[in-house]
Amino acid sequence: GEDVEQSLFLSVREGDSSVINCTYTDSSSTYLYWYKQEPGAGLQLLTYIFSNMDMKQDQRLTVLLNKKDKHLSLRIADTQTGDSAIYFCAETNTGGFKTIFGAGTRLFVKA
Amino acid sequence: GAVVSQHPSRVICKSGTSVKIECRSLDFQATTMFWYRQFPKKSLMLMATSNEGSKATYEQGVEKDKFLINHASLTLSTLTVTSAHPEDSSFYICSASRGAGGGEQYFGPGTRLTVT
């Protein structure tokens, strides 16, 4: 079945850039998402990209999609301590009836 | 816009009792609502998908008689955990979508259930 994989941890210094990577298996993915979850809270949609796009930039966030390799990344520029959270990669296929989530990458930002 | 609330945020119940969790879309009509369960340091596990006025579609391995879902209106879905056991303790998160599919979902803040 469809699968989404992410590394579990990432640690960066405040002010550096963070890059969180994700791979997926469903070649019919239509939408790919990045969600942020802070402790004890639900998920907040950060950004999403359509599968026919290569890149999307939104302020400090840059999403890169390599559809051939089924690789998605999220770059956070000038990472702040408030960015410490779990980041989930997710994809929805053409049918759009189910979203598959990765296990989440826990980002630690050191002051 | 697109705010989803859950109530309660935390609940502790005794084994054998039932607990109801509410999920509301506050400023939009949710054609589809989803219920997820999140285990510590794990991803979200989709439990079921519900559309207003119809029976929920449960994922494989999720007992529909244990996790009762009612999507009573376009703004409210409830999850009732019946005859709860300690292994049901978890973080339950709902999400809502304007469309019929799982495109852009708006998540509630989650409910922490502890069964003693």
- For B2-29, what is each residue's pLDDT tens digit? 889 999 999 999 999 999 999 999 999 9
Residues of chain B with Cβ-Cβ distance to A47 below 8 Å are: none
With beta carbons less than 8 A apart as the criterion, state whether B32 and B47 touch: no
Of A4-8, B74-78, B97-101, give the lowest mean pLDDT range: B97-101
**Residue B16 forms contact with A (CB below 8 Å):** no
| pLDDT for residue A96 | 58
- Across chain B, what does the average pLDDT equal? 90
Could you report the per-residue pLDDT of A9-20, keeping only the tens digit for each? Answer: 999 999 999 999
Is pLDDT of A1 > 70?
no
∠ CA B52-B53-B55, rounded to 5°: 95
Q: Which residues of B touch A102 (CB under 8 A)?
A: 43
DSSP-derived secondary structure letter, B88: G
| Chain A contact probe: residue of B32, B43, B46 with most A CBs at under 10 A | B43
pLDDT at B84 over 90: yes
